[in-house]
Each structure stands twice: as C-alpha cells, then as structure tokens.
Amino acid sequence: MVGSSCYAAPPQPAAKGIRDYPRRERTAPTMSVTLHTTLGNMKIEVFCESVPKTAENFLALCASGSYTLSPFHRLIPGFMIQTGAPPSTPKGGSSIWGEPFEDEIRPTLRHNATGI
C-alpha cells in the first residue's frame, strides 16, 4: 500500500494533493519524504538537526526501499495511522547500524497536532 521516495534537499511547499499543516517546531525541517499511498500522498518533514540518528536511520531506510509496500497496520479515524513495518518483517526491522540506538526524545518536538 505504501511506497516512499526521499528528497535530498530542503522541503518545498506542499505539492498539489498534499495537505500542508501548521508547524509546531521552531527549527525548520532539513529533509522531506513523500509517502505514496493508494489514497494519495503524504509529505513528512524530517528535522535532521533535532533528531540526527533517528533522521539518518529513517532516511536511509527510505532510500533503500525498506518501506516499499508496507501496509498501514493501525488506523484510528480522526486520530492517527501507523505504518512502517516492512512486509517481510512485520514485527519491525533493524536499524541501519544493525542494533537499537538511543531514543532522541525532544520536548520541543510535540505530537499534539496534525503531523508526524
């Protein structure tokens, strides 16, 4: 259901068919990824300076095609969706380093509004 493509440049304004959302983070995103789904596209802005290891891992997995055809495995209308587990490893895959890495929890990155 989902494929991904990565952009190696600062994100541009939302393209037609991609809903823009108000930013809560003061730091500008440094990269973006577009999820292509059967129901339309979603733009994900990645804050590489705020969460460098998480961003590097996510972008490398996108570039390698790891998320291609990943299903949305949890949908709660009006609240959230979850995706990302590759079909071949439904319980989750490995990081690009082959082992877990420390969470990069940042108080300034809030998950209380539209966005990821």
Q: Where along the chain do its domains lie?
A: 2-83
pLDDT at 4 over 60: no
- pLDDT tens across 6-42, in order? 334 445 555 555 455 454 445 566 888 998 888 888 8
Mean pLDDT, residues 69-76 taken together:
85
- pLDDT tens across 86-109, in order? 666 666 678 899 999 999 988 887
**pLDDT score at 114:** 65
Mean pLDDT, residues 42-51 taken together:
87
Instruction: Check: CB of residue 1 under 8 Å from CB of residue 37.
Output: yes
- Predicted TM-score (pTM) of the model is 0.69
Sign of CA dihedral 10, 115, 94, 48: positive
**What 3-state DSSP class applies to 58?**
helix
Instruction: Check: CB of residue 50 under 8 Å from CB of residue 25.
Output: yes
Instruction: Give the integer Cα–Cα distance in Å for 24 and 2.
Output: 26
**pLDDT score at 16:** 55
Q: What is the CA radius of gyration of the chain?
A: 14
